[in-house]
Structure 1
Amino acid sequence: MQQNRNELARFLRNARHRLSPADFGIAATGRRRTPGLRREEVATLAGISLTWYTWFEQGRDIRPSSEVLDNLSVVLRLDEKERAFLFHLAQGRPPPLVPYVHEKLNPGVRLALDTVGVPAIVINENWSVIGWNDLYAHIFRDYGAVPAEERNMLRVLLLSKRYQEDADEFNKMVKRLTAKLRWDYSRSKDQAYFDKLISEMRAQCPAFDQYWQGTEITDSFEASHSVKFEGVGRIDFHHTSYAIEGVLGQRMVLYTPENETSRKRLEELKDTMKKECADA
């Protein structure tokens, strides 16, 4: 624990020293013994006391709130990785999701989607689908045909008539998604977005309204479900989500065949898709 506090002290000093007072409208008066902002300037800009910040930067055993750490992240102009590093050192856990939304895919993520060999999508912290591959579009849904403002995964899954045909399976899905949404909602700093989404879903989906009043929580999208295809048969998928490194809030969801029969049928489906493309 002391090692963490020592590293935190070094990190804060270096972050403070690299800043220019002029960038904050601070006139260069008097001689500065060290580069960057002074401790009292950081404290004032972050809305905290000089004594508290001095102790914090000295690595004393104090417990900052998430709000204070976020204020310091802004003042010290930390990027996403540095902000996460600060929270891990100071609180021993990741930071809450940031209020801005990542709408773009990194080139490496786009490449992974196109070559992964199973249906896959990428969602951001607001549950909006921002990337998908051809297999996903063919098997589940072509989000390219859905207006961008309507690509929220929760809204699509809960309101689509397609998923309501089997009442038991639909209720299981809604229960699972509600438990995951409750977890993400608790961590989000953009709760206004989720408040609007939750209000909309409670009004339009009775099952969601029922489960939202419960207490179940999960931090995982992991689940299984089946899809039937004419000429191929039923394919059992198991889907799991993975955080995308370096882009806070984005997750890739992979739909992998759950058994050997399903794997073979997926390959048959992929062969059919290739033939259709060749004939087009």
Structure 2
Amino acid sequence: MAQREELTRFLKAARARIAPGEVGLPAGERRRAQGLRREEVATLSGMSVTWYTWFEQGRDVQLSAAMLERLTGALKLNPQEREYLFALAQHRPPPLATTPDDVVHPAIQRMMDSLTIPAQVLTEDWTIIGWNRIVTHLFRDYSQLPPSDRNLFKILMLEPRYRSQQYGYEEMARKLTARLKWDYSRTTRLEVFDALIAEMLEVSETFRQFWNESEIVAHFEGMHTLEVAGVGSITMQHTSYVIEEAPGQRMMIFAPVDELSASRLRSVVEAMPAA
């Protein structure tokens, strides 16, 4: 009951702060209260006045995710308010944001730059948008690639250096595809994923094979071994984490799995030229 009361308070406050002119409505002469009326919010959200009124009053009615998204737009909610609305209404997080967040927050970049292990940030469609200098030194220099070529899924699936490792490549490709299926099921940017999937179906027989299988992976971890000239092999485990300030982004970090790999990674980092 307390959450229903909070939902009512939140919705009333959200519509009260919006001037009719902000959404293209006339101010009118007989507005007893500040902001939008319930019927105006209902119209802007594409739902019946009765249904919205019951929802705002805290009655036991359920709105679909699509209706909540329209209500988010009508009330001009920011990402945190959108998440709050979904939590109160459906007791679960909302789908990934409908608008891409393709800029790395400065605090995240500073944190990556302070690490002594590789770290990179990718969007929900696997496009790399941020990285630290260790990634550039050990993996690849993304700054030398056009943004359209920075998709990590395509890089790992299509680059010859990965495909040459036949057993390891097939196992990696199977897991990558299973994780891509999970991301595809949650996205609201279907056109982006549909284009990526169509391209991969056309150019990769391995992808076609695993895409037609039923395996799905919600959390992807794995090992990555590098051969570094003059240093030797470094084995790292990669994990990824959702960034709280940008739910559509994930940070991947690569941690050495043993002391020998850690020692070799330290020597590589210490030998890197100063920024």
Compute the TM-score of the two structures, normalised by the length of structure 1: 0.94
1:257 deviation in Å? 0.5
What is the aligned partner in structure 2 of residue 88 from structure 1?
Answer: 87
What is the aligned partner in structure 1 of residue 4 from structure 2?
Answer: 5
What is the aligned partner in structure 2 of residue 229 from structure 1?
Answer: 228
Amino acid of the structure 2 residue aligned with 1:126: D
What is the aligned partner in structure 1 of residue 14 from structure 2?
Answer: 15
What is the aligned partner in structure 2 of residue 194 from structure 1?
Answer: 193
Amino acid of the structure 1 residue aligned with 2:81: E
What is the aligned partner in structure 2 of residue 66 from structure 1?
Answer: 65
- For 1:69-124, what per-residue CA distance to the aligned partner results, in whole angstroms no more than 9, with x for missing partners? 00000000001111111111111222112332222111101101111110111111
Amino acid of the structure 1 residue aligned with 2:57: Q
What is the aligned partner in structure 2 of residue 207 from structure 1?
Answer: 206
Q: Is the 8 A contact 1:80 1:248 kept in 2?
A: no
What is the aligned partner in structure 2 of residue 40 from structure 1?
Answer: 39
What is the aligned partner in structure 2 of residue 53 from structure 1?
Answer: 52
What is the aligned partner in structure 1 of residue 250 from structure 2?
Answer: 251
Amino acid of the structure 2 residue aligned with 1:17: A
Structure 1 residue runs without a partner (length 5+): none
Q: Distance in 1 between matches of 2:256 and 2:54?
A: 54
CA RMSD of aligned residues (A): 1.5
1:225 deviation in Å? 2.0
1:189 deviation in Å? 1.1
**Structure 2 residue 218 is matched with structure 1 residue 219:** yes
Report the secondary structure of 2:93's partner residue. coil
Q: Distance in 1 between matches of 2:263 and 2:28?
A: 74
1:214 deviation in Å? 1.5
**Structure 2 residue 195 is matched with structure 1 residue 168:** no
Amino acid of the structure 2 residue aligned with 1:158: M
What is the aligned partner in structure 1 of residue 144 from structure 2?
Answer: 145
Identity %: 45
1:116-131 maps to which residues of 2 (within 5 A)? 116-131=115-130
Following TM superposition, the consecutive aligned residue runs of length 4 or more in structure 1 with deviations greater than 3 angstroms are none
Q: Is the 8 A contact 2:116 2:269 kept in 1?
A: no
Q: Distance in 1 between matches of 2:254 and 2:78?
A: 32
Q: Distance in 1 between matches of 2:47 and 2:16?
A: 19
Structure 2 residue runs without a partner (length 5+): none
Amino acid of the structure 2 residue aligned with 1:44: T
Aligned residues between the structures: 275
- For 1:240-271, what per-residue CA distance to the aligned partner results, in whole angstroms no more than 9, with x for missing partners? 11111221301110001111111111112112
- For 1:195-234, what per-residue CA distance to the aligned partner results, in whole angstroms no more than 9, with x for missing partners? 0100111111111111111122222232112112232222
Compute the TM-score of the two structures, normalised by the length of structure 2: 0.96
Report the secondary structure of 2:248's partner residue. coil
1:49 deviation in Å? 0.6
Report the secondary structure of 1:226's partner residue. strand
- For 1:52-79, what per-residue CA distance to the aligned partner results, in whole angstroms no more than 9, with x for missing partners? 1011101112221011000000000001
